[in-house]
């Protein structure tokens, strides 16, 4: 698909990779609808990008945003499922000072699944339905998974969501290829974003040192993979790990 033909939604688009994806696609001629709960961040995107509040964990928000984006751009043919949050904690741990056994809270489990998996799934469902109802295919959906899908200490909730999203990339490919809709996924490693900049410095350095290429990724590194999936009409159903050769521990 040619980038200038895209009418694409980017979720989690206020900052980090999402803002970079939305900006670069706009620069390359695509029509872009950017959604995020961070309206101040959305306001900083370049002029010409459609923007609106979007909480992907809200079914009502998802439905209204997709309808609005279709109206603004005269249709839809692509989605980047980028919205995500982290609420890291060991599933169970023993406090070294008190001896108390602590658990990952159900609240933090549910919050991460609601945004990273359920929200992404409902966005895909709504965009796919929009494309089929209005016959705006061919189309493409990109799920932003994570290298954590292979397992990452202290991230049971995040791992579960990102692994499921990669698996459903295959599922949705099998369901929608007959309509000319491709589905791909990207699993970034450690990338410079506001989310990762808030990590514990020792943990961040440990992860950086584990990367064979010896550096943390940049949003543009991930955008190169996004661009490939969008433009390669013979790519579907697969997840591309973009991690500098190293896996998170």
Chain segment 80-94, per-residue pLDDT in tens: 999 999 998 999 999
**83 touches 124 (CB < 8 A):** no
The answer to whether residue 179 is catalytic is no
Domain presence at residue 212:
yes
Query: What's the rounded Cα separation, in Å, for the pair 197 and 130?
Result: 36
Beta partners for residue 229, in sequence order:
none
- What are the tokens at 93? 């741990």
Domain presence at residue 249:
no
Which backbone phi and psi does 240 adopt, to 5 degrees?
-100, 120
pTM, full prediction: 0.93
User: CATH number, domain at 233?
Assistant: 3.40.50.720
Query: What's the rounded Cα separation, in Å, for the pair 171 and 176?
Result: 9
Domain around 103: 3-242
Q: What's the Rg (C-alpha) of the chain?
A: 18
How many domains, the chain?
Answer: 1
Catalytic member of 21, 109, 158, 223: 158
| pLDDT tens, residue by residue, 82-132 | 999 999 899 999 999 999 999 999 999 999 999 999 999 999 999 999 999
Angstrom CA distances, 182 to 18, 56, 100, 173, stand at: 20, 21, 49, 6
């Amino acid at each position: 698909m040619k980038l200038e033909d895209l009418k694409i939604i980017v979720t989690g688009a206020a900052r980090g990779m999402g803002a970079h994806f939305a900006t670069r696609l706009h620069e390359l001629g695509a029509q872009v609808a950017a959604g995020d709960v961070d309206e101040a961040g959305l306001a900083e995107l370049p002029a010409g990008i459609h923007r609106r509040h979007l909480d992907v964990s809200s079914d009502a928000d998802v439905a209204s945003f997709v309808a609005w984006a279709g109206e603004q751009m005269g249709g839809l043919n692509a989605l980047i499922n980028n919205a995500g949050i982290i609420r890291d904690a060991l599933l169970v741990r023993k406090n070294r000072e008190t001896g108390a056994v602590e658990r990952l809270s159900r609240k933090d489990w549910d919050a991460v699944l609601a945004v990273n998996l359920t929200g992404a799934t409902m966005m895909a469902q709504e965009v796919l339905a929009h494309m089929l109802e209005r016959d705006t295919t061919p189309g493409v959906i990109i799920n932003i998974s994570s290298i954590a899908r292979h397992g990452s200490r202290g991230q049971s909730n995040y791992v579960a969501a990102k692994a499921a999203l990669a698996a459903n990339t295959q599922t949705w490919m099998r369901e929608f290829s007959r309509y000319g809709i491709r589905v791909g996924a990207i699993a970034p490693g450690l990338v410079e974003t506001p989310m990762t900049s808030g990590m514990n410095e020792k943990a961040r350095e440990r992860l950086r040192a584990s990367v064979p290429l010896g550096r943390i990724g940049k949003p543009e590194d991930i955008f190169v993979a996004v661009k490939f999936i969008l433009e390669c009409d013979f790519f579907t159903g697969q997840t591309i790990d973009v991690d500098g050769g190293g896996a998170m521990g």
